[in-house]
Chain A
Amino acid sequence: MVNSDGQLFTIEGIAAGLIMLLTAYIVVSTTSMYTPGDTHISDMQLEQLGSDALRMMNTPNSTAESGQSMLQNIIKNKETERFRETFLTFCNSTTAGSYDNLQLSADLYYRTGTNTVNKYHLTHSRNLTGGEHAVRVTEWVHLNDCNNLCGVGLRPGVQTVLVEVLLWRD
């Protein structure tokens, strides 16, 4: 014999289940699912390291070198090999002596006599295939003259150029 009392537990069970599922659904859909990768922390660390490396290369070690930094000399003399090696040594060194695995691709941007901005590819340690998650760091560099880079298209005389490095972990 069916009476109306007999379905109370079922109805309440269904109600409780629906409430829990609905809450869970709302909670899961509104809680943003961040993984450490999404939070850009590794980007932040790479960018800081790359900026530091460029800044340190652009700081002379003593006033005895007539105030010219290593980066200024490297660019003026077009020592692309030295740029790559120095930059990689700076970025990859650790205090424990082990070696990190960062790769770079560097370009130089300059303004020509006709007021257009041109690019000169300095160097790279690995080809960029497009799959890397690279960060971009830049440094302004003051040049007295174009020296060995005159042939590339830089104006003679004083100018400011931008060194741009793409940096990624291999």
Chain B
Amino acid sequence: MLNDHAYLSIDFLAGMTIFMIAFIWVATMIPGLLISLQGGTIDYDAVAYRTGVILVEDPGWPSNPPWEIKDDLQKDDIERFGLSIEKDTPNILKLSKVERFFCSTSFHYPDDYQHRVIFGDRPYLFNISLSTFDATMSHSVGDIRPDGYGYIRRLVKIKYPSNSTINAPNFRNSGLSANVTKHVFSVQLNCTELIRNITNLANQIPAYQIPAYQINPLRDRIMVNISNMRGAGVFHPGANNGINLSAIEIFRQNPAQPFGKVREYLGPDPMVSVYIDGGTTTVPALPASVTDNVSVIFSPGFFYGMASDNTQLYINYTYKLEQADNFFNNSFTIPYPYDYNHVTRPILKEGVLEVAIW
């Protein structure tokens, strides 16, 4: 006789079928629910926006001394990267900050950047790139963008620092007493005038824009080119008088301290570059023989520790000649002022910054 224990009851079948139908129906609704969940890209866009704002509208932290003059040993002090000159000048970036930010030997992708500019709970990967419209500069840091990344594009201007070109024959001393072998030429950086009394600038532009056009020796690159030295001599013109650059010294004067020497160029220095006759490597030591021109570049922050906004700084060049002559010398007159009327003023260049986050 058959018994019916091996068969499922009609009741169980009916209940299970109803349950399964309902379950399948509900399960098909879940993908519809998740279709809006492209949380990734939405979040990425928000992080990209925030990173863009930090880079473009924030000067970074610490601000005094500014983060960009911290060297590699002090890089742990840098809490936040920010490329803008000051809070009042959003979208106007500083060249020294830009170069420091994109310096791949100092900062490693992605660790050094993640907690200083990207932030957020998860370790986002990124690609940040910046280039000027005239294509003279192009930087980037990060990986190649994958599919599905968050994105923001910002337009910026980059402040290029000032520089001064001095034509040596215009500063030739004269007279018999000046017919000597040792000549000193001095360039004055009047910090009081450049940083504090900015009336020269304030008449031309609104007050909030001043940092964008200001020459600030404490934070900016200072570049002095002296050209046409071979034309400076009188009795022995040309290069046949053995011109030697024998010293570059920095003197300081301010209300609290007496006039005195604070620095001297003694050889390769990460903060000072001395190029002679168009060379591309800094001279190893002084004295050095010069034919025509000398170019000295003081990196941003070189003067930071030795001056404040009421200091007078003098860059003194000492030249020695083989035979006595009238030469490039202003030690009997006044120092050459590095100010708005004598130098090529800072200019701004347009560029575009892109941030991609994934």
Contact = CB atoms under 8 A, between A and B. Distances in A.
A binds B: yes
A152 interface: no
Nearest to A54: B155
Contacts, number: 139
Nearest to A56: B155
Interface stretch (B23-31, B256-264, B291-299): B23-31
Question: Interface residue tally of chain B, by bracket?
Answer: 35 or more
A158 interface: no
B124 interface: no
B334 interface: no
Contact of A95 (B45, B91, B130, B345): B130
Interface in A130-147: none
Interface in A67-98: 67, 89-91, 93-96
A27 interface: yes
Interface residues of A, number: 49
B286 interface: no
Contacts of B354: 94-96
B348 A59 contact: yes
A95 B138 contact: yes
B201 interface: yes
B36 interface: yes
Interface string B91-120: 110000000000000000000000000000
A151 interface: no
B155 A52 contact: yes
A24 B24 CA distance: 12
Nearest to A16: B19
Interface in B148-167: 151-157
Contacts of A59: 91-92, 157, 209, 212, 348
A44 B49 contact: yes
Contacts of A11: 15
A128 interface: no
A112 interface: no
A7 B14 CA distance: 9
B12 A9 contact: yes
A41 interface: yes
A28 B36 CA distance: 12
A127 interface: no
Nearest to B34: A31
Contacts of B288: none
A89 B133 contact: yes
B45 A21 contact: no
Given A34-B36, A41-B46, A95-B138, 20 more contacts: A5-B11, A9-B13, A9-B15, A10-B18, A12-B15, A13-B18, A21-B25, A23-B26, A28-B33, A36-B42, A41-B45, A45-B45, A48-B52, A48-B154, A59-B209, A62-B345, A93-B133, A94-B352, A95-B352, A96-B354
Interface of B: 9-19, 21-23, 25-26, 29, 32-33, 35-36, 38, 41-42, 45-46, 49, 52, 90-92, 129-131, 133, 138, 140, 151-157, 201, 204-205, 209, 212-213, 340, 345-350, 352-354
